[in-house]
Amino acid sequence: MRVLLIEDDPAVAAGIVDALTGAGHEVRHEGTGSAGLEAARAAAPDLVVLDLGLPDMDGTDVCRGIRTFSTVPIIVVSARSEEIDRVLALEMGADDFLVKPFGIRELIARIRAVTRRTSTDAAPAAAIERRLGPLVIDLRGQRITLDGEPVHLTTTEYQILMYLSEEPGAVRPRSDILRSVWKTEWFGATKTLDAHVAALRKKLGSPDWIESVRAVGFRFEIPA
């Protein structure tokens, strides 16, 4: 896999490059946001690992810039641990968020999880679209429209929407959502899921599409 690492700290970058190379990945490293954007466009990587604290521009702007021309999976790594930072990064198009300091094994596991999601996105051949009131999901093209206008989702947001909307009105436990979307068992806090749901609600223009069910999970509803 070709990985683009956008990280300004040489020591951190060297450790990540060595570890990912040892895991069999081809890694290209850029130390600024502008160089990272150019590399993302020119090299067409399979995945981007992006730091938020870059010297020339904020990483969220880099993420948003990449999303104007590519749907490549993006994993944000940052020392910023506040919920607002995670939500903002996800809204700008990131697929996952990892707080520094982190273990290399965790980063590699996140990379595998993101690539599993992106490699299993194909819809059944017989299905064409899913109509949910003014919301239409083109299953073959993986395009979302709301009232005829396109809605741009990350891969993870798309998978969450697909899972929740399979059965409108049904309560989906958090553990089931995490297992279906992340393809793994999840232990501990599930704030990553909350951040993705918050970003998805904002992109759909109303929180009424996805209802929180206290201590259980979420329910997809078509707003009145």
Q: What is the CATH number of the domain that holds 72?
A: 3.40.50.2300
Asked if residue 27 belongs to a domain, the reply is yes
Say if residue 108 is in the same domain as residue 148: no
Are 98 and 38 contained in the same domain? yes
What is the spatial distance between Cα 202 and Cα 208, in angstroms, rounded to a whole number? 10
User: For residue 122, what pLDDT is reported?
Assistant: 43
Position 113 scores a pLDDT of: 85
What are the mean pLDDT values of the chain's consecutive 10-residue runs (224 residues total)? 95 93 93 96 94 93 92 90 82 88 87 76 56 89 90 91 91 88 64 90 95 93 88
The answer to whether residues 103 and 147 belong to one domain is no
In a domain, 124, yes or no: no
Verify that 20 and 85 share a domain, yes or no: yes
| Whether residues 55 and 146 fall in one domain | no
Residue 185 pLDDT: 59
194 shares a domain with 90: no
Residue at a domain's end among 94, 119, 144:
119
- Is 96 among the domain residues? yes
| Whether residue 54 is found in the same domain as residue 161 | no
Q: Structural domain tally of the chain?
A: 2
Q: Tell me the pLDDT tens digit for each residue of 79-105.
A: 887 888 888 888 888 889 988 888 888
Neighbours of 14 (CB within 10 A): 12
Shared domain for 28 and 95, answered yes or no, is yes
pLDDT at residue 120, rounded to an integer: 52
CATH number of the structural domain spanning residue 172: 1.10.10.10
Give me 45's structure tokens.
């990587």
Domain that holds residue 143: 129-220
How many Cβ atoms from other residues are within 10 Å of residue 163's Cβ?
17
Instruction: Based on the fold, state whether residues 134 and 114 are members of the same structural domain.
Output: no
Mark whether 25 and 109 lie in a shared domain. Answer: yes
Q: Are residues 178 and 93 in the same domain?
A: no
Same domain, 11 and 108: yes
